[in-house]
Chain A
Amino acid sequence: MFCFALSGSTVTIYLPIAELSVNIFIILGMGAAVGFLSGMFGVGGGFLITPLLIFYNIPPVVAVATGANQVVASSVSGAITHFRRGTLDMKLGTVLLVGGLVGATVGVWIFSWLRSIGQLDLFISLLYVVLLTTIGLLMLQESLRAMRKAKLNQPLPLKRPGQHNWVHRLPLKMRFKKSRIYLSAIPVVTLGFLIGILTSIMGVGGGFIMVPAMIYLLRIPTNVVVGTSLFQIIFVTAYTTMVQAATNYSVDIVLAFILMVAGVIGAQYGVRVGQKLRGEQLRALLALLVLAVGIRLAVGLFIRPQDLYSVAVGGIGY
């Protein structure tokens, strides 16, 4: 399909939207590695792909939009599996989706505005640093506690999903049959909205935030959480891809395709390895990985750049 240039040991491919030549093996490796990790840990991988692409000098604008496109592919196979098993609540997913689509639209506005004032790259990095380090630390703390408990053979104090908190006193209640839950639509739509914003600004599916929020905040039964969030992610990332393509022209189909193919293959091997590892060890590993990416991005914000000036093509209305 694509013409490769064989010269020496490097095989380069020209990315038409990013407008630069890259080593195809590095992109394939990146896709496979992130796919492997996403299969292993059951995450979408968008939060790893986008920073990696930025580290590899892909313009952040392209990295974010292409990342969202790649997440569509990695979420579809997972959602299909959950749909077959019946662990997907369509109604809950649709309510989440309503918020998600609005959020993604608002997110793309913010994205275009930040780009026009020259603060997009900084904002993406800052958002990643804050989210990755916070979530990394929380996960690490939680998994270490679980590992200590497992060592002492103590049973884990399970938080009952049925317990009520302030979220359950909100009006506009809806009955979600599959989840066996009676819940206000307000927090569900709000959660979808916030994740939608993150999808369009960061190029992530947002599962790594949505899943814990659904379990601990909305008290939705764990068995339907992953499938339902994947269902919502497919549509929000697909929508974001469309809107980014229409407003910023920044989805690179060649880059996305290479990442997708490598990603879905890598994921299959990741799943197999993941099944052999213990849950809390797996979460501790993922926490360390998330922290590492966050710290690497943070360092980039604080060290003095090589050149304080930067040039961008375009000026008015850009």
Chain B
Amino acid sequence: MFCRLALLFSLLLIPATNGFAQIPMGEASSAKEGLDIGVSTNEIAIASDFRGADLTVFGAMTNPDELLLAIGSYDIIVTLEGPRDYATVRKKERIFGVWVNTDSMIFEQVPESYSIASTRQLDDPTQLPPINTAGVGIEHLALNPIGYIRDVGELSDFREAYRRLKLAGGLYQKEASGVRFVSSSLFRASLRLPANVPDGVHIVRAYLFKSGTLLTQREIPLRVVKTGLEQAITDTAHNQPFAYGLLCVLIALVTGWGASIVFRKD
């Protein structure tokens, strides 16, 4: 932790001197802009009272062009991607008055959760830099269906439904202007992990854009783990299902038998 902070401060100092030296040289700067990030914690624990958590990502831009920095040509986007898995989207239709799942689509390896923070409003089309090519942001996540798709219009409906449901469920979040510059090149992003965040390895990614083109990106893993009893229960249920089932039955037998002793009338 201390090392990382020290690194951050040194990074903060370097670009300032470099940038100053570069201004007279204009556009033809040889040094490339870079990015470095650090996270407030690299492990989030889910205990029985878990109600979500906040994650702070610190970062510094190296070798920024002071002129472009001043007119706001740089954009920083920070994302937190959950573990990837297949996702099945189902659609209901009315059959004899009853709502039945009729159609479904499976998307391959999409993040189970996704939070995004950026230096400016991502929703505003007038301000939106052309970042879509980089696949950053909820609207630009790759949603590739598995199998044969009959209707392209249907595909976009399912994709739209997937994003809408994930946003409504709180697993996908966008924090417009969640990235703030603390100094000219040092920034801070806050991301929210919902209460139902999946456990596993999440990835913090920071992207640096110059006038809408991706310059560089950095990533740091973040582990989300269930702790204590929750962890033990989930592990046992998945790794030793028979022992777990037996334990469930035993607890039930003891509870029922105990009650018949405690409340015995004679």
A interface with B by C-beta (< 8 Å): 1-5, 7, 12-14, 16-17, 19-21, 69-70, 72-77, 80-81, 118-119, 122, 126, 238, 241-247, 249, 251, 253-254, 256-257, 260-261, 264-265, 267-268, 301-302, 304-305, 307-316, 318
Interface residues in B222-266 by Cβ distance below 8 A to A read 226, 228-230, 233-234, 237-238, 241-242, 244-249, 251-253, 255-260, 263
Besides A14-B46, A246-B242, A315-B107, 18 more A-B contacts (Cβ < 8 Å) are A12-B49, A17-B234, A19-B196, A69-B248, A77-B259, A122-B100, A241-B252, A245-B241, A251-B244, A254-B233, A267-B259, A301-B99, A309-B162, A309-B164, A311-B162, A313-B112, A315-B85, A315-B146
A308/B112 contact (C-beta < 8 A), A3-B47, A14-B48, A301-B99 known: no
The complex places the Cα of A302 from the Cα of B99 at a distance, in Å, of: 6
Would B106 and A315 count as touching, CB distance under 8 A?
Answer: yes
Give the residue name and chain of the B residue nearest to A304 (CB): B99
Shortest CB-to-CB span from A16 to chain B, Å, is 4
Would B252 and A14 count as touching, CB distance under 8 A?
Answer: no
Q: Which of B89, B92, B259 has the most CB of A within 10 A?
A: B259
Give the residue name and chain of the A residue nearest to B266 (CB): A84
Would A241 and B245 count as touching, CB distance under 8 A?
Answer: yes
The complex places the Cα of A52 from the Cα of B102 at a distance, in Å, of: 26
Shortest CB-to-CB span from B50 to chain A, Å, is 6
A73/B196 contact (C-beta < 8 A), A242-B245, A302-B97, A311-B89 known: no
In the A-B complex, list the 10 residue pairs whose CB atoms are closest, starting with the nearest: A76-B256, A5-B49, A315-B86, A245-B245, A309-B161, A264-B259, A72-B252, A315-B106, A242-B245, A77-B260
The complex places the Cα of A80 from the Cα of B104 at a distance, in Å, of: 48
Would B245 and A72 count as touching, CB distance under 8 A?
Answer: no
15 A-B contact pairs sorted by A residue (CB < 8 Å)? A3-B229, A5-B51, A14-B48, A77-B260, A80-B256, A81-B260, A241-B249, A253-B237, A257-B251, A260-B251, A309-B90, A311-B90, A312-B88, A313-B85, A318-B86
